[in-house]
Structure 1
């Protein structure tokens, strides 16, 4: 019997390499597909007017029907869009560190970060690294690697994709009740952006969704807590998808 396919979708400004710690723990049991989103990694820069639908369409052809989707941050919004609009591709949905139905205050905060990225990518990168990694035990090697990935972005392309991240939760919100596959929402206890409250909003919005909050974790779960994240995903797939 062929191994089930697990599709890993990364966050804004990052690339598929952020999944390496997770993929290394799962390759024995799954066929891993980790495409770069449009405008990221080796993909051509994203153009002005890039949309959540455009990002989803950009990876859909790489996803076999009946895959188990695990989306992180922006990748979670993309995965949710696919679960709504391309349901034949999605057997289960896992949203990692996902925003959901931001409040006015939360929207204002992310729009300030978008403005900072528009003005100065280097300063925005430094602020992100502090927000994601301060107070964690993540190695400096990973911190420097994340910095290099972020700074390698085309500045305009990064802003176009960040704008999707800043607004995409409002776009997908009304459609979340249409998701009909078993779903998991997982975030870090100390995530300042994709908060535990947002994870519980996903549970209330998606009909068959469970929540998990990983103690002591911040935003970058695939790097900070890969084993804990793998345990969450594996337990979920065993319980709800018989994988």
Structure 2
């Protein structure tokens, strides 16, 4: 029997390696595909004006029809776009640490972080690490590895992709009710940006979506809490597709 395909889409400024702790728990039951988004990893830097549709097109060719999509942060917005515009590719949708329909205050906060990335890219990266990992049990080696990945980005490319992250939830919001596949929104109880409230907001917006809040976790669930995340993904797929 052919193993189902699980597609893992990473966050802004990161690359596919952020999935390693979670991927190790899933590799025995799925065929894993983890493409880097345009402007990330070894891909060419993203140009000014890049859109969510551009990011989605950049990975669509790597996704077999009927795949199970798992997107983290920016990757979650890309996965939602694919579920809307390329439903042939998507069997289930798991949005990890995803924003949804930001309030004016939430929009102001993320645009402030974008401005900070324009003013001082390295300081903005350091602030991201604090938001993601402060007061967690993630090993220091993983924090350093994430830092190296962030700082390896082309600074302008990072800012162009971060602008998509900061604004694309408003683009998606009016159409979320059209995503018909079984779905799940997962976030950390202590995530300061992709908050539990946003996960519940996303679950309410999608017709067939539940919400899971992982206790005591912050933003980087695939690194900090890979086992609960792997369990959520597996349960969604098992219960909705009989795999």
TM-score of the superposed pair, with normalisation by structure 1: 0.99
- Counterpart Cα distance in 2 of 1:144 and 1:96: 22
Partner-residue secondary structure (3-state), 1:153: coil
Please state if 1:182 is matched with 2:173.
Answer: no
Matches of 1:55 and 1:120 in 2, distance apart?
25
CA RMSD of aligned residues (A): 0.5
Shift in Å, 1:69:
0.1
**The residue matched to 2:127 in structure 1 has which SS?**
helix
**Pairwise mapping of residues 13-162 of structure 1 onto structure 2 (< 5 A)?**
13-162=13-162
Return the offset for 1:13.
Answer: 0.2
Once the two structures are superposed, residues 85-129 of structure 1 have per-residue CA deviations (whole angstroms, 9 ceiling, x without a partner) of 000000000000000000000000000000011111100011011
Partners of 2:61 and 2:139 in 1: how far apart?
35
Which deviates more from structure 2 when the two are superposed, residues 158-167 or residues 111-120? 111-120
1:203 CA displacement: 1.0
Q: Distance in 2 between matches of 1:41 and 1:224?
A: 21
Shift of 1:138: 0.2
Counterpart-to-counterpart distance in 2, 1:111 and 1:69: 27
Give the gaps of 5 or more residues in structure 1.
none
CA drift at 1:204: 1.1
- Residues in 2 aligned to 1:72 and 1:48: alpha-carbon distance in whole angstroms: 23
- Please state if 1:164 is matched with 2:178: no
- In structure 2, the partner of 1:233 is 233
- The answer to whether 1:210 aligns with 2:210 is yes
**How many residue pairs end up in the alignment?**
243
Cα distance in 2 for partners of 1:135, 1:147 equals 16
For residues 241 and 123 of structure 1, the distance between their equivalents in structure 2, rounded to whole angstroms, comes to 44
Residue 175 of structure 1: SS of its match in structure 2? helix
| Other structure's SS at 1:93 match | strand
SS in 2 for 1:181: coil
Q: Distance in 2 between matches of 1:118 and 1:172?
A: 25
Distance 1:133 1:69 in 2: 25
* 1:161-182, Cα deviation, whole Å (9 max, x unpaired): 0000000100111110010100
Deviations 1:140-191 (A, max 9, x none): 0000000000000000000000000000100111110010100000000000
What secondary structure, in the 3-state scheme, does the structure 2 residue paired with 1:12 have? Answer: coil
Give me the TM-score of the superposition, normalised by structure 2: 0.99
